[in-house]
Amino acid sequence: MKFPELNGLVPPVEAMINFQQTYEQLGGSTLKRKVSGAGLSLNNALNSKIKTTLRAEGYSVLGWSHLLLGTSYVLKCAKPQEVQSASNVITIPAARRTDTGYTPVGIAIVGSRRVFSPATLGSPNEYTVTTVAGATAYQVAYYPEITVVITEFKREGKFGWSLTAEEI
């Protein structure tokens, strides 16, 4: 099981039963029309930032209720994100976990199936996934490590909890 880490704090396994983490892209895009009718996409500068929610239940308290809303923390995520490309050379974000057990993983898409394939680090953020016969696309899965502000922390039931944070 992979665990999140917040400023070096790792939750006890007893507080991590049914752990889930979701990601949501902040910002957005609006389509405006010119007089000619042609579309013009206006992108919000927040498009590269993420909002994440972590939640779990267990039979022990998490111990993070002392954390302050609005304060920045370094969050090492426990759920991977993926970058997909038609090329086997893929650039991933620099903001990722580098601790043991969280190395980026290469994946080839063959038909509609994922096939794990070795990925080697080239330049600091560029991975080359070993080619696989019949692959139509490639992915690199990595674990984000981001600086966030906690926007919400809830205790749910006896030992359930959820934490929502936004990348700054």
pLDDT in tens, 25-75: 987 667 788 888 888 776 655 567 999 999 999 998 888 888 899 999 999
Does any domain span residue 35? no
Does any domain span residue 126? yes
* Domain co-membership, 134 together with 158: no
* Domain co-membership, 3 together with 70: yes
* Domain co-membership, 56 together with 109: no
* Domain co-membership, 72 together with 153: yes
Helix (H, G, I), strand (E, B) or coil at 11: coil
Report pLDDT for 47: 61
The whole domain housing 129 covers: 80-142
Does any domain span residue 135? yes
CA distances from 52 to 1, 25, 47, 116 (A): 19, 9, 14, 26
Give per-residue pLDDT as tens, 113-167.
999 999 999 988 999 999 999 999 999 999 999 999 999 999 988 899 999 999 9
CA distances from 22 to 28, 105, 106, 116, 160 (A): 18, 19, 21, 23, 16
Q: Is 39 left (phi over 0), alpha (psi -120 to 50) or beta?
A: beta
* Domain co-membership, 90 together with 16: no
> How many structural domains does the chain have?
2
* Domain co-membership, 75 together with 121: no
Check pLDDT > 70 for residue 20. Answer: yes
Give per-residue pLDDT as tens, 76-103.
999 999 999 999 999 999 999 999 999 9
Tokens standing for 57?
Answer: 């239940």
Check pLDDT > 90 for residue 3. Answer: yes
CA nearest neighbour of 144 among 107, 102, 105, 108: 102
Report pLDDT for 45: 55
